[in-house]
Amino acid sequence: MTIVIGFEGSANKIGIGIIRDGEVLSNPRRTYITPPGQGFLPSDTARHHRAVILTVLKEALEQAGLKPADIDCVAFTKGPGMGSPLVTVALVARTVAQLWEKPLLGVNHCIGHIEMGRLITQADNPTVLYVSGGNTQVIAYSERRYRIFGETIDIAVGNCLDRFARVIKISNDPSPGYNIEQMAKKGSQYVELPYTVKGMDVSFSGITSYIEEAAHKMISSGQCSAEDLCFSLQETVFSMLVEITERAMAHCGSGEVLIVGGVGCNLRLQEMMGVMCKERNAKLFATDERFCIDNGAMIAQAGWEMFRSGQVTELEDSWITQRYRTDEVEVTWRD
Amino acid sequence: MAATDREMNPESEKLQFRLDVPFPSPRDAAIALGSLSPDREPRKGGIDKQLTVTDRTLTVRWSAEEARILRVSVDSFLDNLSLVLETMQMFAPPASQ
């Protein structure tokens, strides 16, 4: 029996989760939500995390009904992500690992998402679409690495959505993407927006600057509503994602798609991906908001896999890093 | 680059700041060191920070070319130190409390 606690705080969510052999024992989380029109900055986010992290840690232990002595390993997000929030979380992880005399494990955030998706959905060997506010990658496993087959060449799809939400000043509660999704359901007009796929990769900076500039003009001139723009933006960016996912599937001869990351909660994206999968006789896997949005249990799960295959992170190697490629990690727990 | 810095701006010309933090035991000081030393300074230029432990005291020494860079580093270190201390107080194993 192996029990791992995982600490996550690379963006505006701070979560701590405990996993025992594939069972999620607890997974409390807090989100730093900014006023409409504002994004979250590193120092403010770190301050938010610092204020709540010890409370969340207590909750994680209490809800799991465990004492520190029961934990076998302490996992935390080494990167990628925002610097000061990552440091805040790493400090607590390192401190408790030393206090409780447990081994420490620095986990790649993207791999946390992948391993949680695999655990929850039991997908065998899927093409993974990882989409969030900070990342957009199409990943497939091959020979001990999660290989990046396609990705954004500039900003993440979630970043594009979040920035548009700021332009039209909609609420960031529970998340800007969720509110765009709700508004999109009320859209009735499709507005043509720039569509940018480059081979296996995508680009969102063009559509972002276009819509940031044009939104107010189009809405105030009565050409279309904010709901129409939400709808059109989703249709466009999600089509781009479906295209590059399909391309990777064709390369790998894959019959499964797994969507992970906060944007993966979006039901319209799941629906569009489902249509493509059906056409290819492939299966679609997705998780709900407990696990697609950043959480501690996903870090615990990746940590569990790494720990059981013999990996450990020494304190002096436990520095956090804002840039950490998914394919830098040796996937020692798979053949 | 360090060599050039010293020629252009010898150590004696830099701002020096020292912080001594006493702990209840050598083990506590070592734990704090273990938590606070791994991360690198965000802005590589213009600041140097060294952490050491002697018996049950954690000593931090900064050397910086500009006051504002020094202030930012010391400020963020003190925030981090507070978090580590609070964690140690709240989650120390029952025997040592």
Render pLDDT for A271-293 as a digit per residue (tens, 0 to 9).
999 999 999 999 999 999 999 99
Instruction: Measure in Å the smallest separation between the Cα of A59 and chain B Cα atoms.
Output: 13
pLDDT value at A158 more than 80 = yes
Neighbours of A225 (CB within 10 A): 17
| Chain B contact for A315 (CB, 8 A cutoff) | yes
Predicted pLDDT of residue B55 = 96
**Per the structure block, which two tokens stand in for A160?**
């594009």
Instruction: Measure in Å the smallest separation between the Cα of A317 and chain B Cα atoms.
Output: 7
Say if the Cβ atoms of A99 and B84 lie within 8 Å: no
Helix, coil or strand: residue A135: coil
The interface predicted TM-score of the complex, written ipTM, equals 0.94
Say if the Cβ atoms of A317 and B84 lie within 8 Å: no
Predicted pLDDT of residue B2 = 44
Q: How far apart are CA A26 and CA A62, in angstroms?
A: 9
Q: What is the pLDDT of residues A194-206, one digit of tens each?
A: 999 999 999 999 9
Q: How far apart are CA B5 and CA B48, in angstroms?
A: 12
Burial environment of residue A199 by CB neighbours within 10 A (0 to 12, 13 to 18, 19 or more): exposed
Chain A partners within 8 Å of B88 (Cβ): 95, 99
Please report, rounded to a whole number, the percentage of residues in chain A having pLDDT higher than 70. 100
Contacts of B5 (CB under 8 A, 6+ apart): none
User: Closest Cα to residue B20, out of B76, B81, B91?
Assistant: B81
Q: What is the pLDDT of residues A95-143, one digit of tens each?
A: 999 999 999 999 999 999 999 999 999 999 999 999 999 999 999 999 9
Q: What is the DSSP letter of B44?
A: -
**Is A202 in contact with A240 (CB distance < 8 Å)?**
yes
Say if the Cβ atoms of A68 and B91 lie within 8 Å: yes
Say if the Cβ atoms of A99 and B92 lie within 8 Å: yes
Say if the Cβ atoms of A315 and B34 lie within 8 Å: yes
Residue with tokens 């989409």: A131
Best mutation target, A49, A74, A91, A320, to test chain B (most B CBs within 10 A): A91
Which chain B residue shows the shortest CA-CA distance from A101?
B93
Say if the Cβ atoms of A98 and B87 lie within 8 Å: no
Say if the Cβ atoms of A84 and B83 lie within 8 Å: no
Which chain B residue shows the shortest CA-CA distance from A54?
B87
Predicted pLDDT of residue B32 = 98
Which residues of A are documented as binding site for a divalent metal cation? 109, 113, 130, 294
Q: What is the pLDDT of residues A26-78, one digit of tens each?
A: 999 999 999 999 999 999 999 999 999 999 999 999 999 999 999 999 999 99
pLDDT value at A238 more than 70 = yes
Burial A90-119 (b: 16+ CB within 10 A, else e): bbbbbbbbbbbebbbbbbbbbbbbbbbbbb
**Is B94 in contact with B68 (CB distance < 8 Å)?**
no
Interface of B with A (CB under 8 A): 30-32, 34-40, 42, 76, 79-80, 83-84, 86-88, 90-93
Question: What angle (nearest 5°) sits at the alpha carbon of residue A224, between those of residues A221 and A228?
Answer: 155
pLDDT value at B12 more than 50 = yes
Chain B partners within 8 Å of A89 (Cβ): none
